[in-house]
Amino acid sequence: MAHRAVFLDRDNTLIFDPGYLKDSDSVELLPGVAEGLNLLKNQYNFKLIVVSNQSGITRGLITREDVEKVNTKINNLLSLHGASIDSFYFCPYHPDFDSSEKTVCRKPSPYMIVKAAEDHNIDLSGSYMIGDSVSDIECGINAGVMSILFNYNNYSSEQINVLIKDGKTPNFVTSNFLEACNYIAKDYSRR
């Protein structure tokens, strides 16, 4: 039986991002993240999968080990609230530094979502993406999942209008992570 998943951006979606975070001791979950992920995982049985661009690796600002330590710390913090991420995927490349063959994984490409779907037997038609950027929404749309813009950075209506003008309207926009999770729970229950 195929699973449903919630794909999640990492930086400024799950955790506060000061920019190329390398110190796992500085990891701080954003408000509502632990409660929301607990709800999705334990009450609705969603797989929780992070898909994240981490170009700081190719830029030489952070290492793969730094990214993995931050990811481990995220799960350690979530476990205190009865939740955990099932899998972390990240793209370490950037087109300014790497070939197009390497950067195929980079959002807004759906590559990481499609790979995770294959690895975890996920039904994308019943899955969701939560992220704080235009590339997250485009990635979700490109993968065929419902997309939620977590407006943590207080996007101007002009930026949201650019998405809409390009025919890439998010299914839901909120500045409250728990509200995003409640939206998914309600939408899932209606299907």
Provide the annotated active-site residues: 9, 11
Quote the CA–CA distance of 29 and 17 in Å, as a whole number: 10
The count of C-alpha atoms lying within 13 angstroms of the C-alpha of 8, restricted to the half-sphere facing its C-beta, is: 30
> Which residues, including other chains, have CB under 8 Å from residue 16's CB and lie 6 or more apart?
28, 30
Cβ atoms of residues 41 and 160 within 8 Å: no
Closest to 90 measured CA to CA, from 79, 76, 74: 74
Cβ atoms of residues 147 and 107 within 8 Å: no
Cβ atoms of residues 158 and 133 within 8 Å: no
Quote the CA–CA distance of 139 and 112 in Å, as a whole number: 9
Quote the CA–CA distance of 131 and 189 in Å, as a whole number: 22
